[in-house]
């Protein structure tokens, strides 16, 4: 421990706290995670490619990627509006609405999954009105998109809110006094100021959607090649005792997630530097 330390501190407990932190982190997170990579390392390259690039898996990647992208985009647009309304305007019940935004964080995903299915199924709350018009939501790609939008909803709102609150009203006044109309002020001054936070929220929402399982499996119908998401494919392989195949797909997903995590960290650093004056 003393090797790691840069300077002496009079506060006791460095060795104890860091030792415990590293041991716990190692046992709970790092060792089990490394098991996935080590297991894959035992596969031959052809075996690996066969497992992660079969047509069924490719279809699942496509669905997971595009449905997550669509959900994150919708969340970025509406999240911006929700954050703007919550910070700038007043209306009755605002505090309740503000608290409710976190519902997707608090509501178990399985509960969200069956609730969304009950709403959008053929005879469901909204489904019975939509299906006669040819709009099928449950058991289609649209259903996957709806569930992913639900789980990613709070991210954009919660990353934008503090940035919007700290934005000085003076920059809008400066823009207005220089002759810009309201739309020019929003598009040229406000949105560029908010952009790093908006992008961070989008990336967080996208990352969450990629890995989501519980809320999707009920509404997607899980048809191979059509409505099967990547996490579901891992479960399917496990149920067939194909541990290697499941782990190989998991490694592909983990790599994508870690790249996203790295990107999000860089984004946050960028947005912090951007906002330090």
Partner 1 sequence: MSVHATNIRKTFGAFTALGGVDLNVPAGKLVALLGPSGSGKTTLLRIVAGLEQADPGSGPISFHGEDVTNVPAGKRKVGFVFQHYALFRHMTVFENIAFGLKVRPRRDRPPASDIADRVQKLLKLVQLEGLDARFPTQLSGGQRQRVALARALAVEPKVLLLDEPFGALDAKVRKDLRRWLRRFHEEIHLTTLFVTHDQEEALEIADEVVIMNQAKIEQVGTPQEVYDRPASPFVYQFLGNVNVLRAPALAPTVGAPALMRDGQLYVRPHDIGVAPYVPGFTGLIAEIRSIHAAGPQARLTVEQLPGRELIEVELSRAELVGLSLNLNDRVCLRLRQSHSFNDDYEI
Partner 2 sequence: MAAAVTSSLPAVRPPSGAPLRATHDPRWVRWTLTGLALVFLAFFLVLPLAAVFGEALRKGAGAYFAAFKDADALASVKLTLIAALVSVPSNVVFGVAAAWCIAKYSFRGKSLLITLIDLPFAVSPVISGLIYVLVFGAQGWFGPWLIEHDYKIIFAVPGIVLATTFVTFPFVARELIPLMQAQGSEEEYAAITLGANGWQTFWRVTLPNIKWGLLYGVILCNARAMGEFGAVSVVSGHIRGETNTMPLHVEILYNEYNFVGAFAVASLLALLALVTLVLKSIVEWRHAQARAV
Q: Which spans of this chain sit near partner 1 (rule: CB under 8 A)? A: 168, 170-171, 173-181, 184, 188-189, 192-193, 195, 274-277
Judged by beta carbon, residue 50 or residue 101, the one nearer partner 2 is 101
Judged by beta carbon, residue 133 or residue 276, the one nearer partner 1 is 276
Residues 6+ apart with CB under 8 A from 40: 48, 244, 247, 248, 251
Minimum gap (Å) between residue 274 Cβ and partner 1: 7
89, 191 Cβ separation under 8 angstroms: no
Q: Is residue 19 classed exposed, middle or buried when 0-12, 13-18 and 19+ CB atoms within 10 A define those classes?
A: exposed
User: Which of the listed partners (partner 1, partner 2, none) does 46 bind, with a CB threshold of 5 to 8 Å by partner kind?
Assistant: none
220, 229 Cβ separation under 8 angstroms: yes
Minimum gap (Å) between residue 217 Cβ and partner 2: 8
152, 209 Cβ separation under 8 angstroms: yes
User: Which of the listed partners (partner 2, partner 1, none) does 135 bind, with a CB threshold of 5 to 8 Å by partner kind?
Assistant: none
User: Which of the listed partners (partner 1, partner 2, none) does 193 bind, with a CB threshold of 5 to 8 Å by partner kind?
Assistant: partner 1
User: Which of the listed partners (partner 1, partner 2, none) does 63 bind, with a CB threshold of 5 to 8 Å by partner kind?
Assistant: none
Give the span between the Cα atoms of 254 and 182, in whole angstroms: 44
Which of the 8 DSSP states describes residue 101? T
Minimum gap (Å) between residue 161 Cβ and partner 1: 19
């Amino acid at each position: 421990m003393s090797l790691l330390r840069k300077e002496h501190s009079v506060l006791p407990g460095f060795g104890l706290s860091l030792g415990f932190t590293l041991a716990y982190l190692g046992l709970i997170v790092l060792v089990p995670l490394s098991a996935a990579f080590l297991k894959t390392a035992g596969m031959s390259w052809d075996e690996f490619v066969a497992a992660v690039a079969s047509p069924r898996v490719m279809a699942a990647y496509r669905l997971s990627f595009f449905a997550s992208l669509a959900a994150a985009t919708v969340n970025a647009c509406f999240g911006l509006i929700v954050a703007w309304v919550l910070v700038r305007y007043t209306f009755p019940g605002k505090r309740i609405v503000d608290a409710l935004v976190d519902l997707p964080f608090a509501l178990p995903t399985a509960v969200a999954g069956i609730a969304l299915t009950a709403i959008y199924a053929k005879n469901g709350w909204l489904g019975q009105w939509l299906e006669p018009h040819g709009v099928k939501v449950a058991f289609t790609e649209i259903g996957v998109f709806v569930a992913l939008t639900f789980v990613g909803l709070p991210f954009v709102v919660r990353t934008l809110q503090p940035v919007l609150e700290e934005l000085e009203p003076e920059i809008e006044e400066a823009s207005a006094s220089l002759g810009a109309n309201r739309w020019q002020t929003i598009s040229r001054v406000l949105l560029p100021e908010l952009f790093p936070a908006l992008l961070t929220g989008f990336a967080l929402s996208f990352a969450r959607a990629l890995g989501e399982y519980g809320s999707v499996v009920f509404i997607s119908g899980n048809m191979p090649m059509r409505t099967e998401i990547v996490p579901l494919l891992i479960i399917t392989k496990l149920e067939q005792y194909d541990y290697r195949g499941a782990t190989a797909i998991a490694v592909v997903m983990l790599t994508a997630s870690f790249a996203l995590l790295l990107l999000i960290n860089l984004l946050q650093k960028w947005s912090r530097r951007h906002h330090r004056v």
